[in-house]
Structures are given as structure tokens and as C-alpha cells.
Amino acid sequence: MKTFDVIIVGAGPAGSTTAMYINPKESGKRVLLLESRKRVGIPMQCGEALPTYDELTNIFPGVDCPELFDLPDEVIAGRIEGILFIAPSGRRYLAELKGHMFYREKLDQWLFNQAVEKGAQYRLSTRVLRVEDHRVVTANGDFYGDIIIGADGPLSIVADSVTGFAPNRDICRCSFVIAEGDFFEEYIELRFDNRFPGGYFWLFPKNGEANIGVGVRGSKNVREILDGMLTELAKHKSFKIKQRGGGVVPLGGLKAKLASDHVALVGDAAGMVFPSNGGGTGVAMVGGQVLGETIGCDLPLSVYQSRVETLMKRVLDSSLRTRKSMDRTRRSDWLFCVVMWLANLRGWRSFIIG
């Protein structure tokens, strides 16, 4: 009863997309999604900005899953026409990049519902404690899987407990709020200065609300920094805080080992995040599509590793190099102003994605 062809740990974007593309009803595979949360997507942990599918395919030529990014209206909160970068000096630069503001919990639930419609079984409120070979140990009993997928986010217990896989060590800690107010702009704002070491302040307008947050690397108290920024903002904008949240983002780049003969990592667990900006939702979905198709077609997991490397390694490695050179110049606000001025001359693309 508790034996499955595939056990997926985590019903976030990576896990649900993997299950969707295994397509249990068509492939005949018994797939189980194990999720520690009571309700998929809640609590929400995201800035809720996503590039359009066209932008994503420009970044990763070879991505081919338009249906996956054909988001229903209730998931989309608004259009993004570009990014407003604010330098330490206060100078503002506008970079063209099209995207959507989206409702993250609704996105997670939309993906999960499709996985279930396609025949995936699931257990909510089921925290995985560790993986021992083919055995998945949870607080609610053990499960056995021929294949086990770690789609359990940045602090992946699968990556941690299976020999040969590496945990995410290089992380950014974030704190954010959802604020209600007069936030209708079609540009998302990123502010860089030495109050946000190794990270930035973001203000993403979302149809009468805004997702406002701070990410930092190192030991500074990120919530305190955010509260300071909110006090500043309140001097010239009226808003009401509706919700608070936090989380971590892995910024160490795509992991070298994504798969063994029966275990694979995907999404944040695999380091599928742009190290230069922390965006990972769309990358996790693409990773899930590649992994799900590989398993659904009965191909070995080594094929997944090589497909991902072909599709995203060059871009994510380049984004990591950009992040590292940003780290060096961010020691001085003055120097970083020069870096941003140069990025404006050369074009923002490499600053954003590497």
C-alpha cells in the first residue's frame, strides 16, 4: 500500500510540475506527493514576480512548455513592464523586462491541482524526516519509492540525508510584507545599498497591494532592516500591512550533482535559482517539466541531469559569476554606483541574469 514508483517530497512549483509531467494516468506510474504544509502554498514565501514565457525562452533557449506558463487569470495580479533599479546614490535606472506579478499561493495550488487531476496521489501535513535508500521516513510513517525526488525547497532534507548530494550552503535570508495601498505601477523596484549586504530591498506593486521585502546575506537582522525601510516608506505613502512572511533563497548556483540512479533534486533543492537576483519560481517549473518528462518516458535520471545542464547550466553559472563580481564591488556604495552606471550603458540583461 505504501510503495510507489515515484515519491516526490514537496508540493511547491518544482514538485507539482514534476508530478504533472510524469502524468500518472498516461504513464501508468504510481506517484505520491508528500507535503509538510496543511494547505499547498500557505504560508506564501515569495516576491511574486515572474518573467513572461517569452522572456524565459529568451533566457533559456530550448525551453518548450508554453502550456505550463499559460497562467489562468486568477493567478495573475498584474503586468510588469520593467525593473526600476535604484543605486546607492538614489539614481534610478529603468530596465526593460516583461513579466507578471502573480499570486503565489494560487500558482502553487493551480500546479498542484493539475498534478492531482493527472493522477498523482498526495499526503498533506506529512513532513519527511529523512530518506534512507528507497525508504522515505515521515512523521506519519514510512513510504517506499523506486524513485525519490527532492523538491523540498532551499533547505532540502532529501539533499541533506542522501549521501552524495550537497545541501545549499550559500543562502540569502528574506523578510517581506504584503501591504495594501495605492500600488498600481507597472514597474518593480529593486534598491541596492549597504543597508542590504549581499541582497536588496524590493517593492513590487500588485494591483492595489505591494509585495515589499528585503533579502540579505550574512548575520544582519533582516526583519529589522525591513521594518526600517517600511518606516521610511510610510513617510510618503500610506499603506496597511496585511501579511508578513520570510524565507531563504539559495544563491550558490546549480548543483553539480542533480541525480543518482534513484534520487533526483529539482527546483531550489537543486540550486535552480538565478544567483544574481534570487528568482527561481519559473526555473523550478522548467526543471520539474524536464524531470517529469524524463521519468514519464522511463529514461534514466542521468538523462535529466544532462538535459538540465544543456538547458540551464551556462546561464545559471553566468548569473553566479555576476553575483560574485557584484559581491566584490558592493563593499563600497560608491563603487557599486559605478557598476550600475556601467550596467546601464552596456544593457541590464547581464546584470539581471548574468
What CA–CA distances, in Å, run from 30 to 8, 111, 121, 167? 11, 18, 8, 28
- Name residue 147's beta-bridge partners: 6
Are 352 and 277 in contact by the 8 Å Cβ rule? The answer is yes
Are 106 and 41 in contact by the 8 Å Cβ rule? The answer is yes
Q: Does 279 bind ligand FAD (CB under 6 A)?
A: yes
Q: Does 35 bind ligand FAD (CB under 6 A)?
A: yes
Binding range to ligand FAD, per CB under 6 A, among 53-61, 227-235, 245-253, 289-297: 245-253
**Degrees (nearest 5) of the Cα angle 168, 172, 175?**
130
- Nearer to ligand FAD by Cβ, of 115 and 326: the residue is 115
CB of 302 to ligand FAD, least distance (A): 21
Q: Does 37 bind ligand FAD (CB under 6 A)?
A: yes
Q: Does 276 bind ligand FAD (CB under 6 A)?
A: no
Q: Does 105 bind ligand FAD (CB under 6 A)?
A: no
CA 172, 284, 149, 257: dihedral to nearest 10 degrees? -70
Q: Does 271 bind ligand FAD (CB under 6 A)?
A: no
Of 306, 286, 300, the closest CA to residue 61 belongs to: 286
- Nearer to ligand FAD by Cβ, of 263 and 337: the residue is 263
- Name residue 203's beta-bridge partners: 189, 212
CB of 353 to ligand FAD, least distance (A): 12
Report the residue from 20, 31, 49, 258 that binds ligand FAD according to the rule CB under 6 A. 49
- Name residue 148's beta-bridge partners: 7, 263
CB of 167 to ligand FAD, least distance (A): 12
- Nearer to ligand FAD by Cβ, of 152 and 296: the residue is 152
Of 232, 229, 200, 203, the closest CA to residue 217 belongs to: 200
CB of 338 to ligand FAD, least distance (A): 27
Binding site for ligand FAD (CB under 6 A): 9-15, 34-37, 45-50, 127-128, 151-153, 157, 174, 176, 213, 247-249, 267-269, 273, 278-282, 284
